Each structure stands twice: as structure tokens, then as C-alpha cells.
Amino acid sequence: MWAVAAEKRGRKDLLCINCRAKKQKVITYGGLRCEPHDALVDADLNPIDEQGRLLKPGERVCGHKDCMNSSHIVAP
């Protein structure tokens, strides 16, 4: 027999918080509205396409390397 965590009691699916998590289209940090990249990334977590080219290259003012919000990107 295994124990059921408090967060799962009363739920029929018995899934933990991580298993119930859904992919976010927009993440808000304070007043910043980031749009996370949900595909390929390089070793430094920069968004890339299938050929390995950087998508929307530049410095992210929000500090999140995978942010695709154009207003957060300062071109190099």
C-alpha cells in the first residue's frame, strides 16, 4: 500500500501537481508578460528552429532566455 499526498486526497485521478500541470501560453512576472518558447532550445536555453538557428536573437529585457515576446527583445 502507498500513501496519498494531501494535495491528491479527494481526487479520483490521484495525479500530483506536476502531472496535472498544463503548458502555459503566457506567464506573468509582476508587470511583465512573457511568452515562453515551447519547442527546441539550444544548450543555453535559447529558442532555435529545426536547423539550429536562433529564433528572435537578442537580449531579453525580462531575463528569460526562452521568452518570445517581441517587446522583451532588444536586437543585437
DSSP character string of 34-65: E-B--S-B-TT--BB-TTSPBSS-SEETTS-T
- Owning domain of residue 69: 23-76
In a domain, 47, yes or no: yes
pLDDT of residue 19: 77
In a domain, 6, yes or no: no
State the pLDDT confidence band at 30, using cuts at 50, 70 and 90.
Answer: confident
**Domains: count for the chain:** 1
State the pLDDT confidence band at 9, using cuts at 50, 70 and 90.
Answer: low
Residue 14 backbone class (left: φ over 0; alpha: ψ -120 to 50; beta: rest): left
State the pLDDT confidence band at 11, using cuts at 50, 70 and 90.
Answer: low
Mean pLDDT of the chain: 81
State the pLDDT confidence band at 45, using cuts at 50, 70 and 90.
Answer: confident
In a domain, 37, yes or no: yes
